[in-house]
Chain A
Amino acid sequence: MLKLIIIHGAGGTYADALATLGGMLDLRPEWRDGAYLLDHRTGRVARQILNEPDPSPLLQSLQKLAVGRLLVATRTRTPGAREPGDQYAISEEVLQRGFAHLGIPWALESRVRRGKELLSESTRELSEITQILDTASHALKRTDELVSEAAARDSLLGVATGRWRGDEVLGTLERFREMSESGGDVDTVTSAALYAQWIHGQRKDAGATAVYGRDYRYVFINYHERLDPLGAYGPAELLMADLPIAAFPHFDDDARALAAQGVKIARFEDHHPYTPDHRQMLEKLVEDGVVGHLCLSGPLQGEELPAGTEKCAADMVYESVVANRSWDTPGTRTVRETAHGEDFVTDRSDLGRVMTDLIKGGFCKVELAQLVQESFERDDAMHRIETSGLKAMTEGWKSELEVEQAGLCEHAYVLSVKRPEQNAEVCGGPSMGAGSDVPVPVPAEPGMGSHDLKILVSLAVSSKPGKPRMSVGKAIEYYARVFPDVDYAFYSYGCRLMVARRLNQADTALNLGDLMPRIGGEGDGGHGGAAVCRPDSNPGFPSRRLGSVDGSNFRHYVRYLGAKLEASGYAVTAAVNRSVAAQDDLRKSGTRLAVVTLVAVLIGLMLVIFHDDFSRKAIERSNSDFLSHLKGTREDALPREAEGDGASQK
């Protein structure tokens, strides 16, 4: 039976990216209420593509296609078929701001006509893309087998047409893939890899070979998300590790519903805190045959684990399905220790650091899990990461981020929010450190010592063409390093879009997917640890007072967000300005002005030295009639009609 290995967070693969690209070719926007509406998933991608500051040629063609479809949709009389929560709006401002060079006429007829022209142009440019999509899709999937991400990359590089080179297509697909990545940590990725190793080992022992896609595959579930979508995979077994039960309030219902569809939870292994109710619920599920293997190594409510006995999910999976078996290798032990070190921030290794950097920077978690699993045999995970250029990539990210450092922190405030009392013990807290999702142990008495939630609210940096692109993932990763005490980040593109991310994976107090619709509009949301909203779509948004949010009124916007959090039931205790002043651009103008002045003065100096008309005497003589009273000479002060007298008297 197919085994679904759960990785927490969100992610995508090249296959998903191909599907996204295909979806972009088939955009069906609708013009309504002054904006262009798309279905949520396509709209999110379309918006990111339209906002791409430095698009590749393929992305430019896609932009042209998208704009063309939007313009043509202005006249399309499509009945509003979408549910309010299922639409994504692209405003006229987005078009005018970013695509005036394509020609966005105001008059309706001209606009639709222009849209058709753009469609025609882009269709010509993208005519070979459909062929690429077909070829690539076939390359990535053979019957029920899915190729690994590394193999997929090689295949895609070889896919080329007359117009589009493989690396161009690959670059675009990687961009799409990156758009899907959020959340996750080393522990969940290594747990998944260890599960995969177990499956490979079992098959090998049975004289067969495990095939990705047929025997197992990696799927994503985020905190506070329902498990229903897993039913789409058909009869399967779920392998769940590193998922805090407190983050899944509907776990019981979802598990039973999945079981009814033939999807059973084969293993549930977790190290996060839990309550007696959680334990009871899970044991009941085991009793009812919904859950197979259950192992909870975390502290029960009110208890503390003895020092040195903590286990991360990778430890548990290793001990339960890998240790002392034929598939137990030095590589598995290395990776297990790596995960332990990252989760508990102890004895951190280079491998752990670079894996954390990759995950935080938005690298594909599926590819990372596959790389790690392939490294078990030779214990060469670090070598693979280095030779594939991934380590250099993370170092490049760091240097790029240093360039943008001033911009990222130019407008940054930290809101302190009182942690909700009722579930302080199991909602996590400050993590052990960067890359860890293990909360610092809380004392026995409830409510004591649990620190306030810290939410970083920052103004997004807009990348200029030609400069390194500042993706949300990179920005979030940067904030996680620079603000280690912060639990959540609200990265704001003015008031148009706010991206919320959980930085502290050990904290589950906030369900971002629930919170964002309260700050934004009904259609907003996402996952528990990653969500987006459009604050200006909230009916109570003070557009008159805030207007468009930028650096000049960002502090007011932060105050407003604080008020929204309070209205959502959270008590905001403080708002601290952690901004770092950027370099004053006026200095550049001042330098230019100084140069102009210097040149003028040099010319003046030459005149003074070489031109007789600019000598002191000549100048004073020329000004003899001008404000003569200043010097006080009698002759100069006489009115003109009396000058004759003065001259004769002289």
Chain B
Amino acid sequence: MTTRSVSLALGYVAGIVLAAELKQELPLLALVAPVVVGVVWSVLLWKRERVWRPVSPALVITAALLIGVPCGYIRTFGVYGLGTELDVRAVLDGVAAGTPLELRGQVSREPDVRGPGQTDLRLRVESLRMGNSESWRDVSGGHVLLRVQLRGGRQNPQGFEMYEALSDLDAYGYRIQCGVVHRPLPPPLNPGEFDYASFLRQDDVVARFRASAATVEILDRGWGNTLTELSLKAKRRFLITYKSTIRDPASRLVAAATLGLRRSVEGVEYRGDEIVDSFRRAGVGHVLAVSGLHVSVVALLLYYLFRSVGLSPRRFAPALVLFLVAFALLTGARPSSVRAVIMNSVVVCAFAYFNMRFRQAVFIGLSLAALIILGGNPHVLFAPSFLLSFGAVLALVLVAPMIDRWVCSLRGFALVLFIAWFVGVLGLASIDLRALVNAWSCLAVFGALFLLIKCGDELNHAVPRAWTVGLDRLPDGLRMFLTAQIAIQIGMMLPLSAWFFGRFPVAGICVNLLAIPAIGVLVQLGMMTGLVGLIPLVGDTLAMPFGAAVTLGGDFFFWLAHAGGNAFPFPATPRPTNFWMAGYYLLLGSFLLADRHRRDIQKGMYWICGNLLQPRTLRILSWGLPAALLCLPVFNLLQSPETVREVTVCAVSSYPVVSAVSDRRRAIVLNAGDEYSASRTLFDVIRGQGVSSIRSAVVSGVHTPRRDTPVLRPWRRESLSRSAWFQ
């Protein structure tokens, strides 16, 4: 079942990628026929398996792929391809920029309050009319993002009332009408620049509009989905309880971690630093997005509650799943929380009804979650939240056991030296990330690892008692937690942080050791605070002690993130090329494959060493090879003179922003703009060109730059060699 479900999901993903790349409409028969063949074949294979007759895994996988790939293609092409005339995207594509429109639609998600006087509404458009046209045109498919702004403040009481109504959680389900101006989103002007239109598409949003609150009319204050409405009502009550029982800013943290209100901590400072920045630097930004950790904590809490009243898992599993679904809706039903809810639901059902192994349940849950999420919106496949969320779970399930097995095999001095090596690599990454990006240096780092382990083994032989020292002496839970952290860094954080965000939080490895248990306690206490607050009349009072405890926990968390973020660097990373990413994961995959076949490899190696190599030769090789790897960075010295590879002039308003990148991936930049052009445009451009350090920077602008200006903050501490300011 596991092989089948994983293959089906992977096939579906492959179908999405194919459709997104090809954008070609294929004959329906060509897509449906393999599905039918795949289904029939799968049934036949399943019948064979029932009687324990051997079935080749390759056949099972092929049959599942025959179903998955065409299904993914069909579904994606329906989104990418030419839609019907009624498709809102198709209609808007035919409207000229600047055309006034009127939209009618239903608010399909809870309002997203971005700040004072700005709220985003996700609207499912039902009909629209253009300019002064009398007739409304019905449309379907896709959503639009409507930014409702409050203009005029107190001088505009009508607008203020409307803004309040639209910002409230009750606005979900409202049917509204508003006047907007069609302004298509421009494509990115600079290489590597953030593609906002693509970002919106990942949320199934095809366009963005702005409207003044005064121009919006609520046609019907109806209800949307009943379960969502009930969840939002509970959420409202939770928030009111939090505001009454938890001090600021801990209340914001709990609202984000427990209820998915990510923006609640935006613009808030702690000890002079923005909380969001601190969290990112400390590598704990993930706690602000409801994902697997949070959902698992809630699931466990509910599990204990049900068990404490004597119910067996078979009885309460459906109720628990229902609660988790409500929780997903309560937190905004984002891909990470939806994935986590599906997975936890599958695991609960697997334990309750099928006594299934955890790993098997996780794979089936992941596959099911991927199929459901991607079935809803295939664009989500390319969203950071989707990849990070699934990547984390895959790293835990696939990479962590291998790491655990490997570190447990290290004994005595070998273990100590490995830890020293690990700390050294972290330090190296903090000082100069180029060391880990350069191939020769990477090999040298691994050569050092092998050498240190060999030295450790030699020392163990000299002091035999050292063999008894190993990580297997730690409690299993602690050890597996540690190896899980390493696995997540290797499997997900390192490559995907570089790919999506361009920064690597060195602090994350250490800070998360405390942060993850802390957020687990915080989420549990936060949920309990909210649940107690639901009690009529006395709820808020009873929730006070919980809220006070949460406040303490929140303060500790802020302190931890702030301290961690300041203690460790936050180096910028070049954006890896596709080739680099493919190579990285191929290498990781080969390690996993080698681990799976470790016994065969061991057999082969022992045969070679025992039959083909003399002990002396073996000894020379075992020392010589790692030593040779250590010497490889010498090749870095044998490089030709540095030359400029490309010069990029960025399209940024009315001032010059230029970068010149050398063949050694160093850049000279000129920024005559502001912080935004430095921290966003310029950063994305040179990162996309593979730059890991800035050799020289010339800063000049109408805003008087100061020495400590944040214009070049992303590079300043880590990799800026020289800078000059001109007024």
State the A residues within 8 Å of B (CB).
31, 33-34, 74-75, 77, 92, 96, 100-110, 113-114, 117, 121, 540, 542, 544-545, 550-553, 555, 559-560, 563, 584, 586-587, 590, 593-594, 596-597, 600-605, 607-608, 611, 613-614, 616, 618-620, 622-623, 625-627, 629-632, 634, 637-642, 645-646, 649
Contact = CB atoms under 8 A, between A and B. Distances in A.
Given A632-B164, A637-B116, A601 B51 contact: no
Interface string B138-180: 0000000000001001110000100110011000000000000
Interface stretch (B29-37, B467-475, B673-681): B467-475
B546 interface: yes
B528 A620 contact: no
A85 B57 CA distance: 31
Contacts of B236: 630
Given A77-B610, A623-B251, A109 B618 contact: yes
Contacts of A597: 524-525, 528
Given A605-B545, A614-B247, 12 more contacts: A105-B457, A107-B454, A121-B464, A553-B356, A593-B300, A597-B528, A601-B545, A605-B544, A605-B548, A614-B548, A622-B247, A637-B163
Contacts of B412: 103
A31 B547 contact: no
A611 B243 CA distance: 18
Contacts of A110: 457, 461
A580 B236 CA distance: 45
A639 B116 CA distance: 4
B303 A627 contact: no
19 contacts: A33-B603, A75-B610, A96-B409, A102-B467, A108-B605, A545-B49, A552-B355, A552-B357, A584-B307, A604-B552, A616-B244, A616-B544, A622-B248, A623-B247, A626-B243, A637-B160, A637-B163, A638-B153, A642-B153
Nearest to B610: A75
Given A101-B467, A593-B524, A638-B117, A109 B622 contact: yes
B348 to A, nearest CB: 12
B545 A608 contact: yes
Interface string B547-568: 1111111000000000000000
B577 to A, nearest CB: 34
Nearest to B248: A622
Contact of B609 (A108, A121, A625): A108
B243 A623 contact: yes
B470 A604 contact: no
B262 interface: no
Contacts of B357: 550, 552-553
A597 B549 CA distance: 9
A630 to B, nearest CB: 6
Nearest to B453: A107
Given A108-B609, A630-B236, A630-B239, A551 B472 contact: no
Contact of B52 (A102, A552, A563, A618): A563
Contacts of B460: 103
B245 interface: yes
Interface of B: 49, 51-52, 54, 57, 113, 115-118, 150, 153-155, 160, 163-164, 167-168, 236, 239-240, 242-248, 251-252, 255, 261, 264, 300, 303-304, 307-308, 355-358, 360, 408-409, 411-412, 454, 457, 460-461, 464, 467-468, 470, 472, 521, 524-525, 528, 540, 544-553, 599-600, 602-603, 605-606, 609-611, 615, 618-619, 622
Majority secondary structure of chain B interface residues (helix, strand, loop or mixed): helix
A432 B524 CA distance: 59
B245 A627 contact: no
Nearest to A555: B355
A74 to B, nearest CB: 6
Given A563-B51, A587-B307, A622-B248, A92 B602 contact: yes
A544 B52 CA distance: 11
A641 B155 CA distance: 13
B240 A630 contact: yes
B116 A614 contact: no
Top-3 shortest CB links A-B? A103-B467, A642-B153, A639-B117
B252 A626 contact: yes
Nearest to B116: A639
Nearest to B304: A590
Nearest to B615: A109
B153 A645 contact: yes
Contact of A101 (B160, B457, B468, B547): B468
Which of B49, B155, B304 neighbours the largest number of chain A CB atoms within 10 Å of its CB?
A: B304
B88 to A, nearest CB: 29
Contacts of A600: 521, 525, 546, 549, 552-553
A638 B154 CA distance: 7
Contacts of A608: 544-545, 548
A649 B154 contact: yes
Nearest to B603: A34
Nearest to B477: A589
A585 to B, nearest CB: 11
Nearest to A649: B154
Nearest to B242: A623
Contacts of A616: 244-245, 540, 544
A590 B160 CA distance: 48
A639 B150 contact: yes
B403 to A, nearest CB: 15
A607 B552 contact: yes
Contacts of B408: 100
Given A100-B411, A600-B521, A629 B167 contact: yes
Contacts of A590: 303-304, 307-308
Contacts of B252: 626
A121 B465 CA distance: 12
- Most chain B CB inside 10 Å of its own CB: which residue of A600, A607, A616: A600
Contacts of B304: 586, 590, 593-594
A156 B461 CA distance: 37
Contacts of A34: 599-600, 602-603
Contacts of A121: 464
Contact of B548 (A113, A555, A607, A626): A607
A603 B549 contact: yes
A619 B54 contact: no
A646 B153 contact: yes
Nearest to A542: B52
Given A560-B52, A584-B307, A597-B528, A107 B549 contact: no
A62 B454 CA distance: 29
B251 A614 contact: no
Contact of A108 (B358, B524, B546, B618): B618
Nearest to A550: B357
A623 B248 contact: yes
B605 to A, nearest CB: 7
B555 to A, nearest CB: 11
Contact of A627 (B264, B457, B551): B264
A104 B602 CA distance: 13
Contacts of B618: 108-109
A508 B468 CA distance: 50
Contacts of B164: 629, 632, 637
A563 B160 CA distance: 74
A105 to B, nearest CB: 6
B247 A619 contact: yes
A630 B603 CA distance: 67
A96 B553 CA distance: 41
A638 B115 CA distance: 10
A608 B246 CA distance: 11
Given A31-B606, A101-B470, A605-B548, A625 B599 contact: no
A638 B116 contact: yes
A198 B436 CA distance: 87
Contacts of A638: 116-117, 153-154
Contacts of B472: 100-101
Nearest to A637: B164
Nearest to B467: A103
A469 B468 CA distance: 24
